Amino acid sequence: MSDEADVQQRNKQFLELLPLTIALAGLPTSDHGKAYGEDQLEARAMTIKKAFRQAQQVAKTCIEG
């Protein structure tokens, strides 16, 4: 598989798992008009990354039976 096809496949997988990822992350939404600071954004990003890895594992487990 070419690098471009691999990137497209990973993007597709990410988008397909995004609802599960967000649910697993359990992050609250920000108050209207209130921005997060740099540290808060970094912490939230790490939480989403960990939740995505978990979502991938859940999907793999479900597919494998």
Domain membership of residue 19 as a residue range: 3-25+36-64
Q: Is residue 56 part of a domain?
A: yes
Task: For residue 31, tell me if it sits in a domain.
Answer: no
pLDDT in tens, 10-60: 999 999 999 999 999 999 988 888 999 999 999 999 999 999 999 999 999
For residue 45, being part of any structural domain is answered with yes
Q: Residue 44 corresponds to which tokens in the numbers above?
A: 């939230």
* Residue 48: predicted pLDDT: 97
Name the domain count of the chain: 1
Indicate whether 30 belongs to any domain: no
Is residue 58 included in any domain, yes or no?
yes
| pLDDT-based confidence at residue 65 (cuts at 50, 70, 90) | confident
Q: What residues contact residue 27 under an 8 Å CB cut-off, 6+ apart?
A: 44, 47, 48
Output the CA angle 1-55-62, nearest 5 degrees.
Answer: 85
